[in-house]
Amino acid sequence: MIPVPDLYHVRQIAAQPTVADVAGEVRRQWLNSSVASAIKRGDRIAVGCGSRGIRHIGLIVKTTVEALKELGAEPFVVAAMGSHGGATPDGQRELLASYQIDAEHLGVPVRTDMGSQEIGTNSWGEPVWWDKNALSADGVVTVSRVKPHTDYRGRYESGILKMTVIGLGKREGASQHHRWGWKGLQQMMVESAKVILDKTRFLGGLAILENANEETAELRVVDRNELLDVEPVLLEKARDLMGKLPFDELDVLVIGEIGKNYSGAGIDPNVVGRLLIEAAPELETNKPKIIRIACLDLSPESHGNGTGVGIADLTTDRCLAAIDPVPLRMNNLTARFLWRSKLPLGFPTDRECIEQAIDTCWQPNLDQVKFAIIPNTLEVAELWVSKALADVARGNGSLDISREARPVPFDGQGNVAQEKLFPHSVRGRRRS
């Protein structure tokens, strides 16, 4: 049996901006925006919603719907998630419902049809596609989080613009851009957005920024006329706010759960420092540098989509068994980033997986192994680390480190009791 180091609890304590009254701020943003003046009583307004696990997303969408009704509109929701959910109406409806984005909670129709229509040609000579339900509306707004993308760096990454092009482009729009690889996202996506701004009744979007604790840090309605100028500014804010691992180097990183609710890539490359894209060099600025990554579970919110599992080196048989090949293939063949979803080596238990990560991390001295466990790559404000990393952490004034170490809480089957380590995580809240 390979020894597993005892762990110290580390908490990142830097002050984080937070919106205290999320519903109140959502309402104020919509009612006080220039978008409000473009809506006439009786207008049918489509609200584009995606598949990301955004904190308070159900509340934010519900309040958006209520604000639109207050303006006299007749809102309805349209799925704006490209090919996610297996690129089927039922799959996308199920994804939205898991965030309480459904007729029962919102009191308005939720349309997940996959039909799209070609609306023009961008400067690359490529067709631009848009959701037919959105095209039939008197106006379209979106609700989306602005944050760094998992595949590339550019002026426009994840956010309102991407949702209008890729999300509302349905499977055709997503495939159209991904077929060009990262260049289709970094360079062509904005050209398609210009066509959408010219050809459709898109009015604007609610931008959500989250802090390192994954709480709502800022809400802002961005008008269509300011989108191209404002979103890059919001993106840089989001980049500064996002959660990061507080170490430059690790020998072993154990991730409790991976999943689409934590990152579009399943495992966020911005957090683990691995881009892992075909023929694209790893960015020298990517940190931390990690020798060995192990992931233990796939979140149920992913509905079997194990995208990104290949970013890990090792996993469990349990995680591999949870992967549904239908949404996995659909998402990855559409995205055309295949390396990230190659299946890593699987082991019967968490203990065996973690032991092999330690044994193969190129650091044979256990007391020097830089080892950390996080619940997922979205919630990294708290983590558990070995003594080698705890000693580094003690020199960082923005970190709080426990005085005593504790063993990893393995259960009788040799699996980590993750809820004991991270009771406030998505998994901890789900189980409680």
Do 62 and 119 sit in the same domain of this protein? yes
Q: Domain span at residue 54?
A: 22-241
Do 386 and 261 sit in the same domain of this protein? yes
**C-alpha span between 183 and 404 (Å, rounded):** 49
16 is a domain residue: no
Pure H helices in 289-364? 317-321, 325-335, 350-359
- The CA-atom distances, in angstroms, between 63 and each of 106, 144, 208 are 9, 14, 14
50 is a domain residue: yes
Name the burial class of residue 170, with classes exposed (0-12), middle (13-18) and buried (19+) by CB atoms within 10 angstroms of its CB: buried
10 is a domain residue: no
Do 229 and 303 sit in the same domain of this protein? no
Q: How many domains is the chain built from?
A: 2
Quick one: which of 14, 9, 15, 16 has its CA closest to 393? 9
38 is a domain residue: yes
Do 230 and 258 sit in the same domain of this protein? no
Residue that is last in its domain, among 191, 206, 241: 241
Do 231 and 256 sit in the same domain of this protein? no
The pLDDT assigned to 178 comes to 85
Tens of pLDDT, residue by residue over 339-376, are 989 999 999 999 999 999 999 999 999 999 999 999 99
The pLDDT assigned to 226 comes to 97
Do 316 and 406 sit in the same domain of this protein? yes
The pLDDT assigned to 161 comes to 97
353 is a domain residue: yes
The pLDDT assigned to 149 comes to 84
- 224-230 CB contacts, 8 Å cutoff, 24+ apart: 224/35, 224/197, 225/34, 227/160, 227/161, 227/193, 227/197, 228/161, 228/190, 228/193, 228/194
Do 228 and 176 sit in the same domain of this protein? yes
Low-confidence ranges of the chain (pLDDT < 70): 283-285
6 is a domain residue: no
The pLDDT assigned to 285 comes to 62
144: β partners: 207
The pLDDT assigned to 358 comes to 98
Residue that is last in its domain, among 226, 241, 256: 241
